[in-house]
Amino acid sequence: MIKQFPQDQPSGGEMPEDDRGNEGVPAAHGNKSSPARKQRRWARERAAQGLYQQLMNPIAVDQLEAQFMEDAFMLRIDLELFRRILRGVEAHATELDAAIEPHLDRPVAELDPIEHAILRLGAFELMHMLETPRAIVINEAVELAKRFGATDGHRYVNGVLDRLADLARPTETRRRD
């Protein structure tokens, strides 16, 4: 059984993202997000839940995906992104863990499972989805950690992914606040 979360509640500070990846552009009218932005955010949330579930109870990715597809809400997300992350992380799990481990203060095996899932998701996007700006990848992972992780887990996720991004994308500039 898949744990249900209040997906329709914006987590605040959401910014629209169009198909060109302009996720960092503030919304013109308050906190409303474009439908595409929400669909991608929800895809990442569901992918993080799936990755967590797989860490807790390893099953084939096809079976995991089928479980998620039983939920009608899946029709509202970016299914292509969900599948790409879920399948990509599974295919590159060893590589992703090896990439994040030098930036950790403990062995990968000792990570909190939700933080581990989010770090894998973020590392996969940083290393294999170069079309998504590093600032967006890190911000989305931090938001996931705030929503699902431990109290200060988002700070840990931010630091690890920021250091990984410096190595994985050395020519991409950091976002200036």
pLDDT on residue 34: 87
| Cα separation of the two ends of the chain | 41
Rounded to the nearest angstrom, the gap between the alpha carbon of residue 172 and the centroid of all alpha carbons in its chain is 19
CA neighbours closer than 13 Å in the CB half-sphere of residue 1: 3
CA 135, 69, 75, 3 dihedral sign is negative
Q: Contact, 143 vs 159, CB < 8 A?
A: no
DSSP 3-state of 49: helix
Can you read off the two tokens belonging to residue 162?
């920021």
| Average pLDDT of the residues in 9-31 | 39
Q: Contact, 48 vs 117, CB < 8 A?
A: yes
- C-alpha closest to that of 68 among 118, 113, 54: 54
For the cut 80, the answer to whether the pLDDT of residue 158 exceeds it is yes
pLDDT on residue 79: 96
User: What confidence tens digit (pLDDT) does each residue in 28-55 have?
Assistant: 334 457 899 999 999 999 999 999 999 9
C-alpha to C-alpha distances, 150 to 42, 119, 142, 157, nearest whole angstrom: 20, 14, 12, 11
